A and B are shown apart, each in its own frame.
Chain A
Amino acid sequence: MTRATSFATRRGRAAAALRLLGGALRNRRRDVVALAVWSLVQAIPAFLSGRLIELAVDRGFLQHQLLVGFGWLALLAASFVAGGIAAGRVFRSLGNVIEPMRDQLARVVVEGSIRRSARLGLPVDRAGVARLTEQVEIAREAGASVLQVTQGFIVATIGAVIGLLSLIPAALVLVVPPVVVGLAVFAAALPRMADRQLESILADERAAEGTAAVAAGLRDVVAAGAEDRATSLVERHIDAQAVATRQLARLTAVRTLAVAAGGLLPVILILLFGSWLRSYGATTGAILGALTYVLQGVEPALERLVRNLGSGGVWLVSALARVLEASAESELDSAEGTPERPVDLDAGGKRRAGSGRVRVRRRGSALAIHNLTFAYSATAAPVIHGLELTVDRGDHLAIVGPSGAGKSTLAGLIAGLLHPQAGSVQIGGVDAMAARHHGSVLRALIPQEAYVFPGTVLENVTYLDAGAPRAAVDHAIAVIGAAPLVERLGGCDAMIDPAALSAGERQLITLVRAYVSKAQLVILDEATCHLDPDAEARAELAFSHRSGAVIVIAHRISSALRARRVLLLDGGAAWAGTHDELLQASPLYRDLVGHWSGGAKTPRGRATPAALRRALSMLGL
């Protein structure tokens, strides 16, 4: 990272973070005002203590007037009581400001993480959970401490300055300049400290990522005999972190000197110029009071401010920046508006004003793909290249091919989750990207990772159509073959604990969900991979008999045997046809199916699609 970019990103991060903090403060005006008011009350001891000690000593104890001395001290005690109560109130107000900020951050993180995870071709955003439990918490704690010490410093300094003014105005000349110089030195060191602290945090994160990568790929490291090379890749970050820590220590030493200059130099100056102050009429008590203001007011407040802004402030900014970065990125992906809102559209996919029930007039095939081309980046070879495909209503298509051939990519394109570089995808005559905004009215995509959430069985299976009649739900559960599972769980109204279900059971639930939906096109993207072959066959045939079309991305080649048509993908190229046609035409298909004539004849007596269908009808499907 060059100096220039680090400066720019630092400025950008700081600006964004401060905007967010500012927003949080503006939203809670009443609590911010309360915070300010109680802070002032909290400052009373800082303001009065020196003066009251002076009065107690000069008017009381030194004059042998014990009761007078006690009287002033009682006033001091009273001011401490007021200050103590105010300190408690300050914390409550602080909570009222900070907790809503945390709520807002949590919302940003949750939505951003889900959006980021939905991007195809990229790994899911596992860091989202860490952002929620770590970065948001860091921001919460650091935000509170920064607010607290900043207000504390302002209050203590103002209190002490007013107190000194009332005590020995001349002493201000000895106190204010060192404090200003100390703050200036600290302010000058702060940006560099912030940089080093960020470097240290980033180096830590890279070291953590590198370590996790070595652990995840240890088999490869050991097999290559490259243990030393692999560790050296991580050691760079470990060393960078150590360097940043050492540089930070140097800057911290500077900071400490700044605090000493600001907080302790006034003490020395007051002592050195004691006789000079006496010539201005300063009494014993006045000098004791002045020293009290500095030692108990200014110095601790300055030290807390410097320590907290130096570390807490940087943590706050970096944590907020991290949270904001992630959400900004994901907002770019979803600039399409709110997907849930039902919108009426005509066949061309144009939006029309209106609300309420969704009405879509469908025209043409269930799916029409024309000249579709897609690549994950400008330099990468296209995964899909000039694809033409039509799926009629009532059709049952299986997509097969080696892994990495673009099957899931095609599913994403059909579902409108990816923008094609060229060509068009139309679902019932509506553009796929527009169809996405109808939720699952036009199409439903069931991916391999079955998403079952903690809720009732009914809530889970009517996820795509909340108004589905109970009879339709029961029918779906029966035909998909989920009845024994639902019965075991305790019926449709029983709660599901997703962690207690096996992967196959979760898939059954999502299959029922797709069956219940209104979608005229259902895409099963390896959605049956954890089912056993019987259950898979049963589910696929149920969809085959459902009204509307089904596209099965095949995990096992047996899925192709059940389909009416098969689409074979292979490195950007594609062939469509019936099972028998592809057996004739494609050596790859023969290889995938296991028909191989290398040195032996094609084995006889295997199940043909027709034979399979007969067998299934005998099973009652």
Chain B
Amino acid sequence: MIAAGFTVVVLAVLDTALPAVLGRAVDSIFGNAPAAWVFAAAGMVAGLAAMDAADDLAVGFATARSTAWLRRELLRHFVRLGVSAPERYPPGDLASRMVGNATQAGRAAVDIVRAVANLLPALGAIVALGLIDPWLCLVVGAGMPLLVVLLRAFVRDASGLAARYLEVQGAIAARLAGAIAGARTIAASGTIHRETDRVLAELPQLHHEGLGLWRAQARIMTQQGLLVPLLEVAVLALAGVELARGHITPGALLAAAQYAILATSLTSVLPSLTRLVRARAGAARAWEVMREPTVAHGAGAAPRGDGRIEFRGVTVRAGDRALLDHVDLVIPGGALTAIVGRSGSGKSVLTGLAGRLADPDEGQVLLDGTALRELGHDTLRELIGYAFERPALFGDTIGDAIAFGVSTPSPGAVAQAARRADADGFVERLPQGCANPLAATPLSGGEAQRLGLARAFAHPARVLILDDVAASLDTVTDFRITSVLTTALAGRTRIVVAHRVSTASRADMVVWLHEGRVRAVAPHPELWRDAGYRAIFEPARLAPHPNGHRRGARTAA
């Protein structure tokens, strides 16, 4: 960064001095100045070239370094904000902050130096013109305001036009997004050409606005293309008069013409200012993420115990509504416990708290007598594992995706986990088996889910929390995995969110949630006598539900 600042300033100085030295060198050819000026000019041009190259290096390296640093910090910070962070920063938004905004911010320092340095040659040129002849300075000075007015008018013009262009483009993009979402309908109806025409209905309008932008640019090109050279002609005319009078040398005339052009580069401040404004906005968006507090973990070691989870007075709120309302619950260690309830009853909130994917607003969650907050990060994740209905898989290969976690299991453990999750069959059929690239492996919902299960099985935890895996598995696979839960994993605490009767009936204990409260804790056969319990598993009837699907219909929009 310091190197970049140095080269930028030296370049500015050299740029300013060059026309004067060149002028002297020309004079020396005709004996009006010492011959040494030619070599001075040659050395200066060589220096300028070298400095220019050094500047490219310095700026490139500084930008690369600060951008990469900012991106890494941003990402490392983001993953520690807690699982609700993507609600505030959806994937696309975060990616644009990290890639687009962080780059702008990474370049900001260099841009600031550049903007200031760009002023130097222009101001220097005006001073130099004054030194050659004060009248020259006046001529350029008179032309400058006109140029600024022209440019400002252009910026105003162009931004209005650009806004309209973007508006039309946005309308087309919105229709395209709609058509993409409905692509199956379009393909099935055989209306792709019709839909393309419909999406592009405003293309002529876009074409028109686009031509408008070109016209505006053409206007400014004409005006600027007239004003700057005419200013130069005026300077030349004045310098010619001074040359005729013998006040200045021919070399000075050349220098004056160059300085006149250099002075007009003062107007380049306008675009660099807009770039700075954008860079500031970009940096602000990147810092917005960095300012958020991260989830704090304790330093506690693993407590002794068999994996007993206890909820003490736990309340979770979303706005005014209580998702969990003063829940006191003990999930016994070493047992298979099913969590049952209608959608919206708080099942996923409860299981999220059980492994500290979130913290309750009130109350405490404890594992074998120790509050989850007090456990160290790695200890907590080694003690409690999760398998989700729709897992997100990470890693280069299928094997990496299974091994993904706080610790790295051996290849043998990975293979065993794949077997237990009934994922070995389809993995073995892949061209490279476990080493098959994850990105190049099309996975069905059920296959992804089995890999997610294998990931959980590969990291033997004291407590394993599972979504109802059966929901998207065929019966044979469902049966095999359930037997793993009741045999190979027997002795661990297993918490399963159950949607189907078969899942609940296999559990040692069922926790029945209703509207954020624990309605009952008992074995399944006991609860089955209750019609309300049976109703959870029954298909939707014709009578409207008090909650459930209706709620879905409203929130789905």
Q: Of residues 85 to 119 in B, which have CB atoms within 8 Å of A's CB atoms?
A: 85-86, 89-92, 94-96, 98-99, 103
Nearest-neighbor residue (CB-CB) of B294 within chain A: A227
> Residues of B contacting A274 with CB < 8 Å?
26, 28-29, 38
> Residues of B contacting A125 with CB < 8 Å?
180, 183
> Residues of B contacting A222 with CB < 8 Å?
79, 82-83, 357
Nearest-neighbor residue (CB-CB) of A249 within chain B: B60
Question: How many angstroms between the C-alpha atoms of A452 and B67 in the bound complex?
Answer: 43
| B contacts with A: majority SS | helix
Partner of A532, one of B60, B357, B553: B553
Nearest-neighbor residue (CB-CB) of A573 within chain B: B474
Partner of A83, one of B59, B229, B392: B229
Once the chains bind, are B184 and A118 in contact (CB under 8 Å)? yes
- Most chain B C-beta atoms within 10 Å of own C-beta, residue among A208, A225, A254, A255: A225
Question: How many angstroms between the C-alpha atoms of A230 and B198 in the bound complex?
Answer: 42
Once the chains bind, are B229 and A257 in contact (CB under 8 Å)? no
Q: Of residues 464 to 505 in B, which have CB atoms within 8 Å of A's CB atoms?
A: 470-478, 500-502, 505
Once the chains bind, are B394 and A271 in contact (CB under 8 Å)? no
Given contacts A230-B394, A447-B184, A451-B181, contact A502 B556 (CB under 8 A): yes
> Residues of B contacting A246 with CB < 8 Å?
60-61, 64
Taking the complex as formed, is B429 at the interface, i.e. its CB lies under 8 A from any CB of chain A? yes
**B141-149, B412-420, B513-521, B531-539: which one contacts chain A?**
B531-539
Taking the complex as formed, is B368 at the interface, i.e. its CB lies under 8 A from any CB of chain A? no
Taking the complex as formed, is B301 at the interface, i.e. its CB lies under 8 A from any CB of chain A? no
Taking the complex as formed, is B296 at the interface, i.e. its CB lies under 8 A from any CB of chain A? no
Once the chains bind, are B444 and A376 in contact (CB under 8 Å)? yes
Question: How many angstroms between the C-alpha atoms of A616 and B60 in the bound complex?
Answer: 73
Taking the complex as formed, is A423 at the interface, i.e. its CB lies under 8 A from any CB of chain B? no
> Residues of B contacting A260 with CB < 8 Å?
45, 48-49, 52-53
Question: How many angstroms between the C-alpha atoms of A607 and B541 in the bound complex?
Answer: 8
Taking the complex as formed, is A606 at the interface, i.e. its CB lies under 8 A from any CB of chain B? yes
Nearest-neighbor residue (CB-CB) of B500 within chain A: A591
Contact count band on A: 35 or more
Once the chains bind, are A502 and B392 in contact (CB under 8 Å)? no
Question: How many angstroms between the C-alpha atoms of A596 and B94 in the bound complex?
Answer: 46
Once the chains bind, are A223 and B386 in contact (CB under 8 Å)? yes
Once the chains bind, are A447 and B185 in contact (CB under 8 Å)? yes
Shortest CB distance A140–B (Å)? 8
> Residues of B contacting A530 with CB < 8 Å?
552-553, 556
Question: How many angstroms between the C-alpha atoms of A531 and B75 in the bound complex?
Answer: 40
Taking the complex as formed, is B302 at the interface, i.e. its CB lies under 8 A from any CB of chain A? no
Given contacts A132-B172, A219-B388, A256-B53, contact A114 B556 (CB under 8 A): no
Partner of B233, one of A73, A111, A220: A73
24 contacts between A and B (CB under 8 A): A57-B243, A80-B233, A91-B215, A92-B214, A96-B214, A106-B206, A110-B176, A111-B193, A132-B173, A140-B210, A225-B405, A238-B75, A241-B68, A257-B50, A291-B254, A404-B446, A451-B185, A453-B198, A502-B557, A533-B544, A537-B542, A561-B539, A603-B531, A607-B542
Taking the complex as formed, is A272 at the interface, i.e. its CB lies under 8 A from any CB of chain B? yes
Once the chains bind, are B557 and A557 in contact (CB under 8 Å)? no
> Residues of B contacting A111 with CB < 8 Å?
192-193, 196
Once the chains bind, are A220 and B200 in contact (CB under 8 Å)? no
> Residues of A contacting B244 with CB < 8 Å?
60-62, 64-66, 69
**A346-354, A388-396, A434-442: which one contacts chain B?**
A434-442
Partner of B377, one of A95, A221, A225, A438: A225
Once the chains bind, are B541 and A113 in contact (CB under 8 Å)? no
Q: Name the 9 nearest CB pairs between A and B, nearest first.
A: A249-B60, A217-B392, A451-B182, A225-B381, A571-B474, A95-B214, A260-B49, A599-B525, A339-B190
Taking the complex as formed, is A450 at the interface, i.e. its CB lies under 8 A from any CB of chain B? yes
Taking the complex as formed, is B217 at the interface, i.e. its CB lies under 8 A from any CB of chain A? yes
| Chain A 523-538 near chain B by CB (<8 Å), digits 1 or 0 | 0000000111110010
Taking the complex as formed, is A612 at the interface, i.e. its CB lies under 8 A from any CB of chain B? yes
Partner of B230, one of A77, A91, A402: A77
Contacts between chains A and B (CB distance < 8 A), count: 551
| Chain B 226-241 near chain A by CB (<8 Å), digits 1 or 0 | 1001100100110011
Partner of A253, one of B54, B380, B534: B54
Once the chains bind, are B187 and A417 in contact (CB under 8 Å)? yes
Once the chains bind, are B524 and A599 in contact (CB under 8 Å)? yes
Question: How many angstroms between the C-alpha atoms of A121 and B444 in the bound complex?
Answer: 8
Once the chains bind, are A439 and B226 in contact (CB under 8 Å)? no
| Chain B 22-65 near chain A by CB (<8 Å), digits 1 or 0 | 10011011100000001001100110111011111101110111
Shortest CB distance B321–A (Å)? 21
> Residues of A contacting B123 with CB < 8 Å?
none
| A contacts with B: majority SS | helix
Taking the complex as formed, is B177 at the interface, i.e. its CB lies under 8 A from any CB of chain A? yes
> Residues of A contacting B542 with CB < 8 Å?
533-534, 537, 558, 607, 612, 615-616
> Residues of A contacting B187 with CB < 8 Å?
114-115, 118, 417
Taking the complex as formed, is A547 at the interface, i.e. its CB lies under 8 A from any CB of chain B? no
Once the chains bind, are A209 and B56 in contact (CB under 8 Å)? no
Shortest CB distance A10–B (Å)? 21
Taking the complex as formed, is A128 at the interface, i.e. its CB lies under 8 A from any CB of chain B? yes
> Residues of A contacting B170 with CB < 8 Å?
133
Once the chains bind, are A267 and B45 in contact (CB under 8 Å)? yes
Shortest CB distance B89–A (Å)? 6
Shortest CB distance A179–B (Å)? 14
Once the chains bind, are A87 and B26 in contact (CB under 8 Å)? no
Once the chains bind, are A598 and B505 in contact (CB under 8 Å)? yes
> Residues of A contacting B307 with CB < 8 Å?
none
> Residues of A contacting B475 with CB < 8 Å?
402, 570-571, 587-588
Q: Of residues 191 to 212 in B, which have CB atoms within 8 Å of A's CB atoms?
A: 191-196, 198-200, 203, 206-207, 210-211
- Most chain A C-beta atoms within 10 Å of own C-beta, residue among B75, B244, B531: B75
Question: How many angstroms between the C-alpha atoms of A95 and B455 in the bound complex?
Answer: 56
Partner of A271, one of B41, B78, B86, B177: B41
Nearest-neighbor residue (CB-CB) of B449 within chain A: A404
**A165-173, A379-387, A487-495: which one contacts chain B?**
A379-387
> Residues of A contacting B471 with CB < 8 Å?
402-403
Taking the complex as formed, is B319 at the interface, i.e. its CB lies under 8 A from any CB of chain A? no
Shortest CB distance A243–B (Å)? 8
| Chain A 354-391 near chain B by CB (<8 Å), digits 1 or 0 | 00000000000000000000001101110100000000
Given contacts A212-B95, A253-B53, A453-B179, contact A440 B189 (CB under 8 A): yes
Shortest CB distance B48–A (Å)? 7
| Chain A 427-459 near chain B by CB (<8 Å), digits 1 or 0 | 000000000111110001111011111100000
> Residues of B contacting A116 with CB < 8 Å?
183
Once the chains bind, are B91 and A212 in contact (CB under 8 Å)? yes
Question: How many angstroms between the C-alpha atoms of A29 and B449 in the bound complex?
Answer: 58
Once the chains bind, are A225 and B525 in contact (CB under 8 Å)? no
- Most chain A C-beta atoms within 10 Å of own C-beta, residue among B169, B218, B396, B524: B218
> Residues of A contacting B426 with CB < 8 Å?
380-381
Taking the complex as formed, is B175 at the interface, i.e. its CB lies under 8 A from any CB of chain A? yes
Partner of B502, one of A102, A417, A598: A598
Taking the complex as formed, is B554 at the interface, i.e. its CB lies under 8 A from any CB of chain A? yes
Shortest CB distance B443–A (Å)? 9
Given contacts A70-B237, A257-B49, contact A598 B525 (CB under 8 A): yes
Shortest CB distance B544–A (Å)? 6
Once the chains bind, are B94 and A268 in contact (CB under 8 Å)? no
Nearest-neighbor residue (CB-CB) of A504 within chain B: B553
For the complex with contacts A380-B426, A558-B542, 8 further pairs of A-B residues with Cβ separation under 8 Å are A241-B67, A252-B60, A253-B60, A256-B52, A274-B28, A381-B429, A502-B556, A530-B552
Once the chains bind, are B26 and A287 in contact (CB under 8 Å)? yes
> Residues of B contacting A110 with CB < 8 Å?
172, 176, 179, 196, 199-200
Question: How many angstroms between the C-alpha atoms of A103 and B181 in the bound complex?
Answer: 23
> Residues of B contacting A291 with CB < 8 Å?
22, 26, 254
Taking the complex as formed, is B362 at the interface, i.e. its CB lies under 8 A from any CB of chain A? no
Once the chains bind, are A106 and B381 in contact (CB under 8 Å)? no
> Residues of B contacting A117 with CB < 8 Å?
180-181, 183-184
Taking the complex as formed, is A585 at the interface, i.e. its CB lies under 8 A from any CB of chain B? no
